[in-house]
Each structure stands twice: as structure tokens, then as C-alpha cells.
């Protein structure tokens, strides 16, 4: 009999992402079966943690062996689709799917990377900051820290009400990091199409490596129009949730690079399908956030791939793991030696080293663990 347990934590960010994002929510999951135990997680900075927990209760009630990840994912997603094809549905499914892949790796005695097929010994990491609220001096100092740490790329936020302020910040960072470091720019859906068109004309002199999510993510046709008129690549995908949405974005010509978030798309199973779709249709892949896991997946992807690491926001930096995972970033490159599975064990739900916690039905309220 398969059993799904989950428990949530509201984890403080050492570097808040803004006055409204001082914590992230991590939902640790565990699947116990006749074959052993697998660990997983879901994650959200602000919205939906309680709804994710509720969906996990429904998935737990429907979980049954055999626990081959892909067929289980397809069945659970089809059953839950009336609640939404993506969003809370897929974010909760990630907690199940990631645990099932960990279970498979541990059962077979292989790391997740080797189970999926290792293609790289290490992949490049770009330093990222959620820094739109930083004064220019702090923004420049962060960019310089990233370059000093060996990152070959730096990403900063834009999208202030005054476009001239955005341009000045980009100019300051480009001057600080030099011409040889890739500069990614992320608008986080803050522009409309006319504003974005003005912005890309002004930004071109700073040679952006890509412009990320300039428009509302749902408006794929507007992204396609912007891409036709933009002199540098467009990246998109952290707020897309299904392979169907990624396929539409690619076929419309909305982006040059897709950025699936392994939790928001529903876990490892759909992430791999989306990455294969991108390969077949000739666009790049740059996984969004969560380098502790997305970095492991990047090691299995064909061709060049970047991994994103937001300063002081990895699971290792947040001190939520019960032991080192085996994922390391040194001199701007990520490598992984995790042992069987993916190596991610959250200290509040780690059956190997901690006292077992109550089942989901009797767990404390979602936010009770951190004031």
C-alpha cells in the first residue's frame, strides 16, 4: 500500500525578494511503499501553499501501487484536471512526482542524474537576484559579488514605473560586470507591449543575453509580436504550467528560450517532456530557480544549458535540508553527486533521521511552524 505524507514550512529568506515576499513556502512530501521511501517537495513564494496541501490530501487518497512515475502522473493529472490543468494542480502533483522519482532512484541504487542519463559533469550557473527594490549601489554590489564568485552570467530585474530608471540600472550593472559577462534582464511580466517595444530599443546597447518574461505570461501572441521586433532573445516559461502551453509558446514564436519551473509544471515527468519538446522544436532550455533539483535535471539535458541560482535562496542556503544533498556550485558551475535518488531531505519530514511526524490530516496549521 502506498502512503503520501506532507508537511509545510514557511521559511524566511535571508535576502527578501521585496516587502511582500520575505518568506517562501516549502511543502515536503514523502511516499512510503512496499519498495521503500521516496522524498519530494512542492514550493511557492507567495500564493497557494494551503491549496497545494489540500490537493496533496486528494492525491494521497488516490495513490496506489505500482508507482512508476509517468503513468501515475498521467492518471492523477487526468483525474484532477477539472480543478485546473495547471497551477495548484501541477504544483501539488510535483510533490508526488518528485518523491516517486526519488523512490525509483533509491530502489535501483542510482542517483537521479544517472537514472535519467547524465550528459554533463557540470553546467554553468548564472547569478540571479530578486532586486528591483535594491538601490543602485546595492544592485551593483550584488552583481559584482556574483562575478567574483565565478558566475559567467548575471540576471537583474527591471520594470520600474519610469523606464529611464530601468535603463540607468542596467547601464550601471553592465559597467560593473564588464562586457564578457552575460547580462540577463527580467521584467517579471511588468510591461505592456508598447512599453516593452520602447524598452528593447533602449536596452539593445547593453547587449542583453536575453529579456525574460517582459509581458503577462498568458499573452503569448503579444510575446510573439515583441520577439519579431526585438534585437535579442526572449525567454519565457516560469509561469507556464503544461506541455500544451509550452508547445503553443514555441509554435507561435513567442520565445527563443523556455524556462520551465520543475514544481510549477508538475514535477520531473512533465519537465522532461517539455525539455524534449523544446529540443524537437529547436529552442533553448534554461530551468527556472530551484537549482538543488533543476541543476540535476540540467545535467541530463542535451546541448548547452544554464542553471539559475538566486543569491542565498537555494535549499542549502535556506538551511532546510537535513544533510547536504550532493549538489554543489563551485566557480560558477554546478555538479551533483547525490547518492541514490535526488538527495533532498527536508529536516521536518525526514523519516531516516527524525521522529516521524503526524499524517497530513493531523498536521499543525500550514503556517504554524514559523511566526
Instruction: State the burial class of residue 235 (Cβ atoms within 10 Å of its Cβ: 0-12, 13-18, 19+).
Output: buried
Residue bearing the bigger pLDDT, 361 or 257: 257
Mean pLDDT of the chain: 93
Phi, psi of 225 (to 5 degrees): -65, -40
Residues in a beta bridge with 341: 111
Q: Is 130:45 a contact under the CB 8 Å cutoff?
A: no
Query: pLDDT tens digit string along 197-233?
Result: 999 999 999 999 999 999 999 999 999 999 999 999 9
pLDDT of residue 93: 98
How does residue 132 score in pLDDT terms, banded at 50, 70 and 90? very high
How does residue 268 score in pLDDT terms, banded at 50, 70 and 90? very high
Query: pLDDT tens digit string along 84-127?
Result: 999 999 999 999 999 999 999 999 999 999 999 999 999 999 99
Q: Is the pLDDT of residue 10 over 50?
A: yes
- Quick one: how far is CA 76 from the chain centroid? 22
- Closest among 164, 230, 63 to 212, alpha carbons compared: 230
Neighbours of 161 (CB within 10 A): 7
Neighbours of 278 (CB within 10 A): 23
Distance set, CA 181 to CA 127, 130, 148 (Å) = 11, 19, 11
Query: Catalytic residue at 288?
Result: yes
CA distance 341 to 35: 14
Three-state DSSP at 88 gives: helix
Rg of the chain in Å (alpha carbons): 20
Residues in a beta bridge with 185: 156, 211
Query: Catalytic residue at 330?
Result: no
Mean pLDDT of 278-301: 97
pLDDT of residue 345: 96
Query: pLDDT tens digit string along 350-361?
Result: 754 433 333 333
CA distance 232 to 108: 44
CA atoms within 13 A on the CB side of 250: 22
CA distance 207 to 84: 39
Domains in the chain: ranges and CATH: 3-109+345-362 (3.30.390.10), 114-336 (3.20.20.120)
Residue positions counted in the chain? 371
Neighbours of 293 (CB within 10 A): 30
Active site residue: 157, 223, 241, 342, which one? 157
Dig out the grid coordinates for 356 from the structure. 516521524
Q: Beta strands of the chain (E only): which ranges?
A: 3-12, 23-33, 36-44, 123-128, 153-157, 182-186, 210-212, 234-236, 257-258, 284-285, 307-310, 327-330, 333-336
Amino acid at each position: 500500500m502506498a502512503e503520501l505524507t506532507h508537511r509545510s514550512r514557511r521559511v524566511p529568506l535571508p535576502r527578501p525578494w521585496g516587502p511582500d515576499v520575505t518568506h517562501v513556502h516549502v511543502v515536503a512530501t514523502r511516499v512510503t511503499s512496499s519498495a521503500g521511501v521516496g522524498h519530494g517537495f512542492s514550493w511557492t513564494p507567495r500564493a497557494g501553499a494551503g491549496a497545494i496541501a489540500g490537493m496533496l490530501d486528494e492525491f494521497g487518497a488516490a495513490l496506489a501501487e505500482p508507482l512508476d512515475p509517468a503513468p501515475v502522473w498521467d492518471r492523477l493529472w487526468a483525474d484532477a484536471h477539472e480543478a485546473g490543468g495547471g497551477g495548484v494542480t501541477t504544483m501539488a502533483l510535483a510533490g508526488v512526482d518528485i518523491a516517486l522519482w526519488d523512490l525509483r532512484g533509491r530502489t535501483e541504487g542510482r542517483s537521479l542524474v544517472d537514472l535519467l542519463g547524465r550528459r554533463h559533469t557540470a553546467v554553468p550557473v548564472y547569478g540571479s537576484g530578486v532586486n528591483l527594490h535594491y538601490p543602485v549601489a546595492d544592485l551593483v554590489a550584488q552583481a559584482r559579488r556574483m562575478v567574483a564568485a565565478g558566475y559567467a552570467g548575471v540576471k537583474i530585474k527591471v520594470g520600474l514605473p519610469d523606464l529611464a530608471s530601468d535603463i540607468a540600472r542596467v547601464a550601471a550593472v553592465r559597467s560593473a560586470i564588464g562586457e564578457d559577462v552575460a547580462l540577463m534582464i527580467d521584467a517579471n511580466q511588468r510591461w505592456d507591449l508598447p512599453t516593452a517595444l520602447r524598452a528593447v530599443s533602449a536596452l539593445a546597447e547593453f547587449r542583453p543575453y536575453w529579456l525574460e518574461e517582459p509581458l503577462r505570461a498568458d499573452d503569448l501572441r503579444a510575446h510573439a509580436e515583441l520577439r519579431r521586433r526585438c534585437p535579442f532573445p526572449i525567454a519565457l516559461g516560469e509561469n507556464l504550467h503544461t506541455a500544451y502551453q509550452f508547445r503553443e509558446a514555441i509554435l507561435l514564436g513567442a520565445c527563443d528560450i523556455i524556462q520551465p519551473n520543475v514544481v510549477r509544471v508538475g514535477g520531473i515527468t512533465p519537465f522532461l517532456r517539455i525539455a524534449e519538446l523544446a529540443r524537437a522544436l529547436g529552442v533553448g532550455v534554461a530551468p527556472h530557480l530551484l537549482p538543488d533539483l533543476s541543476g540535476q535535471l540540467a545535467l541530463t539535458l542535451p546541448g548547452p544549458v544554464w542553471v539559475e541560482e538566486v543569491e542565498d535562496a537555494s535549499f542549502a542556503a535556506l538551511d532546510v535540508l537535513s544533510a547536504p544533498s550532493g549538489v554543489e556550485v563551485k566557480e560558477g558551475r554546478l555538479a551533483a553527486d547525490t547518492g541514490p535518488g535526488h538527495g533532498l531531505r527536508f529536516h521536518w519530514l525526514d523519516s531516516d533521521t527524525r521522529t516521524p511526524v503526524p499524517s497530513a490530516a493531523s498536521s499543525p496549521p500550514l503556517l504554524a511552524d514559523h511566526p
